[in-house]
Amino acid sequence: MNWTDERVELLKKLWSEGLSASQIAAQLGGVSRNAVIGKVHRLKLSGRGKTTTAAPRSKKPAPAPVTTPRSATTSNVSSMSAASVSASPAAPRATVMKSSGSAALQADILADAVAEPIIRSNENVVVPISRHLTLLQLTERTCKWPVGDPLHEDFHFCGHESGESSPYCSYHSKLAFQPTAERRRAR
DNA sequence: CCCTGATTCGC
DNA sequence: GCGAATCAGG
């Protein structure tokens, strides 16, 4: 993909709006977050007020001819990152579904099996670069169950662990795959 | 492990 | 100029 003027403009815009490199890459399509970051640097568009890791100058990776294998001790952090989307004032199209958007991150007890997710993931490629709409980073392991009104600010996705091959967490999977209620003729 | 941006460097 | 690989941090 070329960095056309338009793409560069969009890059600048999104970057200035505080989107992360990966988010921008996702909307631009066809580029990796590294590409975005690289471009940002080349454009000298670093730092937009609040950069997460503001480690300007500390040390440069000296070209040590010797490989220095270091073992890092990782402390376990158990924080769930809720998938929140910065709702845009003008959402293109709302996925109409009747869900009582109150499925919080903590597997809350949902009254009854209400929601019937009509989530038709089309072959949807990249989200048509539109508003400063930024679907969060829905990775392969995050529950993609939408929560709340897409038109509202607090719209987000469940974000729970969704296992290896399911788009939803175990909880939402059950809701999603519930056979249209009692549709069986008991012999 | 997930994510973030920063830097380097071969192409 | 580009961006994968790598580094460094949360």
3-state secondary structure A88-151: CCCCCCCCCCCCCCCCCCCCCCCCCCCCCCCCCCCCCCCCCCCCCCCCCCCCCCECCCEECCCC
Q: Which nucleotide is nearest to A37 (CA to C1')?
A: B5
Q: Is residue A78 part of a domain?
A: no
Q: Is residue A121 part of a domain?
A: no
The predicted-structure confidence for A129-163, as pLDDT tens digits, reads as follows: 344 444 556 676 777 777 777 677 666 777 676 66
Whether A31 sits with its Cβ under 7 A from any strand C atom: the answer reads: yes
The predicted-structure confidence for A159-182, as pLDDT tens digits, reads as follows: 676 666 677 877 778 777 776 654
The residue with tokens 């056979």 is A179
pLDDT at residue A39, rounded to an integer:
95
Q: What is the span of the domain harbouring residue A19?
A: 5-43
Using pLDDT thresholds of 50, 70 and 90, give the confidence band for residue A43: very high
The predicted-structure confidence for A45-64, as pLDDT tens digits, reads as follows: 877 755 444 334 334 444 44
Q: Is residue A176 part of a domain?
A: yes
Q: Is residue A154 part of a domain?
A: yes
If one counts the domains in chain A, the total is 2
pLDDT at residue A135, rounded to an integer:
58
Q: Is residue A32 part of a domain?
A: yes
Residue A34 has pLDDT above 90, yes or no: yes
The whole-chain average pLDDT of chain A stands at 60
Q: Is residue A89 part of a domain?
A: no
The pTM score is: 0.48
User: Are A142 and A118 contacting, i.e. CB atoms less than 8 angstroms apart?
Assistant: no
Residue A117 has pLDDT above 70, yes or no: no
Q: Where on strand C do bases come within 7 A of a protein Cβ?
A: 1-10
The distance (Å) linking the CA of A79 with the C1' of B10 is 38
Whether A58 sits with its Cβ under 7 A from any strand C atom: the answer reads: yes
